[in-house]
Chains A and B, each alone.
Chain A
Amino acid sequence: MDREKAGARCLCDLTVSIREGTVPAFTPPPLPSDDKRWKIVNGTMRKNGFARHALIETLHTVQSSFGYLDDEAIRFVARSLRVPLSQAYGVVTFYHYFSLKPPGKHTVTICAGTACYIKGADKLVAAAEKRLGIPQGQTTQDGKISLMTARCVGACSRAPVVLRDGEVMGEVTSGQVLEQLERWAVE
């Protein structure tokens, strides 16, 4: 990697320039590719003045633009915000909301909050796991369906709740979940 280009400098260089009062202005690294989505990501960072505390905000933008966070994205964000890569990776893995794997074409999210649990959400999860042959949190091998659980989407009054590609469905039965999975499977 070209260190100059990355904006990283050797410590003694930096000490000399600080002493001489000629600290070079920070230049953010170039965008990884022509993909327009990087411009959106860069926009979030610019809006926050490339400040370190914008890390989570920026990761949110990456995830909403690309669907997940890959190595390239984490490296780019870390370098742009001058955050150690270890710290950026630590943040990504700490928060459940961030995903390191691409989501399937469709996502079924079963809410596992308390109200949904009391109304039998565990049975929905078990039925979906059996049908898809994957544990929760994973995507089928053909990349068609991701099975996720959520910690509460706030629609507790209509428990058990399932999100069908983000759309809230209330008072769901196992039959309805299986029906939906069937429909996606034959698409």
Chain B
Amino acid sequence: MTIEELEQIAKSVCQENEKYDFEVNVCMDLACSSQGAQQLKDALVKAAETSGKNVHIRRTGCMGPCSSGPLVRVDPEEALYHHVNADHAEAIVNSLGGAPVPDLQCDLNEHFDKQVRVVLENAGYIDPEKIDEYIARDGYKALLTALTEMTPNGVVHRITESGLRGRGGGGYPTGLKWGTVAKASGDVKYVVCNGDEGDPGAFMDRSVMEGDPHRVIEGMALAAYAVGASKGFIYVRAEYPTAVSRLTAGLRDARRRGLLGNNICNTPFNFDIEIRLGAGAFVCGEETALLASIEGKRGTPRPRPPYPAVSGLFGKPTLINNVETYANIAPIVRNGGKWFANMGSERSKGTKVFALTGKIANTGLVEVPMGIKLREIIEVIGGGVPGGHTFKAVQTGGPSGGCIPAEMLDVGVSYDALVRLGSIMGSGGMIVMDDTSCMVNVARFFIEFCMTESCGKCIPCRAGTAQMFTLLTRFCNGSGTMDDLELLESLCSTVKEASLCGLGQTAPNPVLSTLKYFRNEYIEHIVHKRCPAGVCNIQAPVTDQKEVLA
């Protein structure tokens, strides 16, 4: 494969597309599929055949606003239809070339206007299983340009210049990590993609792997060239079967096109990728645990240093990045580091994809520039809290993050700002809670999660989370005391300071942040034995009953 051949493919795809008068794109991501997107697509194909119009019906990855699904976008009019079902197929096909179907058109301009799409630029525009459609949208151009015109150091330099930070949650500068692995000695090095999206309530990585698998593959190939690796692994959750099959198909097609394998683009660069399945352990999102899991062992973390950049998979220098980090690589190499650094805030560059869920009108995937205010994400893009309820908190970072209250919503989203608020960026889950959520119960939910997911290797995490869970359960059933609260706080700091890996070190975050912003709810549970949100099932205390009887 050469650049000329790549351009030839892109050209032929464009010619192919020009044969059609209209394009109807059907979102077939998990959320839309669960509402009958497949039947809808079949009906559209049938309606197009009977109408005799020259229509290209394409399945695509996630278009974003999942709560309005199933979604259909008609090009070239760019009309977006929401809540479409198979019965609407005829009306949509008939409207082609005329005015859009009025009942189905959705007004999500505000939702889209604030967004900037880098990672999700192809989602909703290409068929994920067609490598040529990816190539037609500048796919693999970055890889071939880098292989023929740039040195590995040049690629590392470009990533460093972009200011990209790890999208898995920690926010470690990606360029620095690549530089370390590139400098590490040894002939054999590995590149690993962390697709073990364990954070419950986040699905950005699933969407990227399913909707645009080649973007991840290209990012990994660029990383391998930059650090001098010839073998890569993608570690995907077994709970994402579609992601696994899309990636498998993607790897097969890339090999066929000569974009993976030996002597890629007639250069000495060899690279291939294998898929490894996770098996449902949250702790495997931690890099050393993930590597143990790829080696076929129990996913328990080990102390660092040595960092995986020096001694990782099978003891060799290993580069580990998250799916979204790799998805950012090709556009950075293509457009330059400065282009990327122009987006975002001072110390957090670029964009971030968030999975907006919970008690919010527009649930789904959004991609926003760093530095945007939380309020804009929730009220403008998300459309606010529905059902006449009031906003209470937004939870970011999953079980490792915290709950941010209404009064902090004017803070701009960045790695550092969220840490200052007692939460973390995390992988990008953003769960909105309203006045029907009890914050003590939420804290208990997360601690229960960490307790069951603790691998059991170190005692602070194994025993500490269990004790914290017991205390929080007592608050929730009304038997907690103020001494328990004090004990809980001291346990939080012990678990935080003394745990071996990120899981334990961040496990107390949901408790600490709810204690910081919603302490009165804890006091209500402990002193007045009542749950303000009406979630916890607290039995009326005996003394009160006596008073009532008297």
Residues of A within 8 A of B (CB): 52-57, 59-60, 83, 87, 90-91, 94-98, 112-119, 150-159, 161, 167-170
Contacts and interface: CB of A to CB of B under 8 A. Distances in A.
Contact of B359 (A53, A96, A118, A152): A118
Most A CB within 10 A of own CB, among B199, B239, B294, B363: B239
A65 to B, nearest CB: 14
Contacts of A168: 30, 33-34
Contact of A118 (B206, B364, B433): B433
A159 B31 contact: no
B355 A157 contact: yes
Contact of B200 (A83, A97, A115): A115
B429 interface: yes
Most A CB within 10 A of own CB, among B277, B294, B446: B277
A41 to B, nearest CB: 15
Contacts of A170: 31, 34-35
B206 A114 contact: no
Most A CB within 10 A of own CB, among B200, B202, B299, B431: B200
A97 B31 contact: no
A98 B206 CA distance: 21
Contacts of A90: 298
A90 to B, nearest CB: 6
A43 B20 CA distance: 44
22 contacts: A52-B296, A53-B294, A53-B314, A54-B296, A56-B296, A59-B279, A94-B281, A94-B298, A95-B299, A114-B201, A114-B445, A115-B201, A115-B357, A115-B431, A116-B200, A118-B431, A119-B358, A152-B198, A152-B203, A158-B34, A159-B357, A170-B31
Ranked 4 nearest A-B pairs via Cβ:
A113-B200, A157-B66, A95-B279, A114-B201
A53 B30 CA distance: 31
A169 B34 contact: yes
Contact of B293 (A56, A112, A117, A153): A56
A110 B446 CA distance: 17
Contacts of A118: 357-359, 431, 433, 437, 442
Contacts of A161: 34
B203 A154 contact: yes
B355 A114 contact: no
Contacts of A59: 279
A94 B295 CA distance: 14
B2 interface: no
B294 A154 contact: no
Contacts of B282: 151
B395 interface: yes
Nearest to B284: A95
A96 B280 CA distance: 5
Contact of A56 (B201, B276, B429): B276
Contacts of B272: none
B194 to A, nearest CB: 15
A150 B239 CA distance: 9
Contacts of A113: 200-201
A157 B201 contact: no
Interface of B: 30-31, 33-35, 66-67, 69, 197-203, 206-207, 238-240, 276-282, 293-299, 314, 355-359, 363-365, 395, 398, 429, 431, 433, 437, 442, 445-446, 449, 453, 455
Given A116-B200, A156-B431, 9 more contacts: A53-B296, A54-B296, A95-B279, A114-B445, A151-B239, A156-B200, A158-B35, A158-B67, A158-B69
A123 to B, nearest CB: 11
A156 B202 contact: yes
A57 B277 contact: yes
A97 B236 CA distance: 13
Contact of A114 (B356, B364, B431): B431
Given A56-B296, A94-B299, A154 B357 contact: no
Contacts of A157: 31, 66-67, 203, 355-357, 363-365
Contacts of A57: 276-277, 296
A155 B203 CA distance: 7
Contacts of B363: 115, 156-159
Contact of A154 (B69, B197, B431): B197
Contacts of B30: 153-155, 168
Contacts of B297: 55, 87, 91
Contact of B280 (A54, A95, A115, A158): A95
Nearest to B456: A94
A119 to B, nearest CB: 7
Nearest to A60: B277
Contacts of A53: 294-296, 314
B445 A151 contact: no
B296 A114 contact: no
A133 to B, nearest CB: 21
B6 to A, nearest CB: 31
Nearest to A155: B30
B203 A60 contact: no
Nearest to A59: B279
B488 to A, nearest CB: 21
Most B CB within 10 A of own CB, among A112, A114, A117, A151: A114
Most A CB within 10 A of own CB, among B297, B446, B453: B297
B429 A153 contact: no
Contacts of B398: 114
A155 B210 CA distance: 13
A34 B292 CA distance: 34
B309 to A, nearest CB: 20
Nearest to A83: B296
Most A CB within 10 A of own CB, among B35, B207, B358: B358
Most B CB within 10 A of own CB, among A97, A156, A167: A156
Nearest to B362: A157
A87 B281 CA distance: 17
B239 A154 contact: yes
A155 B206 CA distance: 10
A124 B358 CA distance: 17
Contacts of A159: 357-358, 363
Contacts of B240: 154
Contacts of A56: 276-277, 279, 293, 296
B437 to A, nearest CB: 6
A153 B277 CA distance: 15
Given A57-B276, A60-B238, A156 B355 contact: yes
Contact of A60 (B34, B279, B455): B279
A114 B198 CA distance: 11
Contacts of B442: 118
